[in-house]
Structures are given as structure tokens and as C-alpha cells.
Amino acid sequence: MQGRSAIQLPDGEGKEIVQTACAACHSLGNITNSGHSAEEWKTAVAMMLNVGANVPEDKVDTVLNYLVKNFPEKPAPPAVSIPGNVEVSFKEWKVPRPARAARPARRARRHHLVYGAHGQLTGAH
């Protein structure tokens, strides 16, 4: 497996921020091996910020511009027709449902919290 420090990013404004903020959680190969449109990069950066990427608010556009410029959308590979018949099969399996939210103990005599079907607090009685 290639180490995080072995990947060299292209020079440009935003490089240092990308190296530190992005490599804190994943390999820089996730960036260098991908290519996205400007809108896709905007979505990816927003998702990373939502989960705690350490990018100063005044540097978000710098990071976005760096990624759009240096890692643009890659063309899709050409479609290839396969001659002859092809056999395809699908396997389906049941996925366990997440556990329901625990019901809280009564807060006080004759008073309790009321939760909805999906675990959201709906009121107190």
C-alpha cells in the first residue's frame, strides 16, 4: 500500500491546505486518482466539511478552485460490446434493521418522555 507522504500534489494555491486537511482522514490518492466536475468537487468538499475537515472558512473556495483546476472530470471509458450470450446472476440477502432507540426511564412520577416510531422526541407528558 502506498504511503500518504509518497503522493505529490501539483503546486498551486491551496496545495498545503489540501495536503493537511484531506490527508488527516484519508490518503491523498483518493484525490489524485479521482476526477470530478466543479459541481462534484463542491459537493465532495461540502461533505468533508460536514464531517469535520479542518479547512478555514475563508480558504474553502481556495481548496475548491485547487481541486477543480488540478483534478478535473475524467472522460468515461468507451463502451465495449461483448459478443455472444452473457449469464448474470444476483444474490439477495436480508440486512439487519438498526436497533430502535432506547426508551428513556420516567422523568418523574406520572411524567415521561414520548418518542415517535423513529426515535425522535415528540413530547413529554
Q: Which residue, 26, 37, 47, is CA-closest to 18?
A: 26
Class of domain 4-70: mainly alpha
21-74 residue pLDDT tens = 999 999 999 999 988 999 999 999 999 999 999 999 999 999 999 999 999 998
pLDDT of res. 36: 93
Q: Where are the domains of the chain?
A: 4-70
The yes-or-no verdict on residue 106 having pLDDT over 70 is no
Count how many Cα atoms sit within 13 Å of the Cα of residue 73 in the half-sphere of its side chain.
8
Q: Are 2 and 27 in contact (CB under 8 A)?
A: yes
- Rg of the chain over all Cα atoms, to the nearest angstrom: 24
Q: Distance between CA 65 and CA 48 in Å, rounded?
A: 15
Q: Are 118 and 100 in contact (CB under 8 A)?
A: no
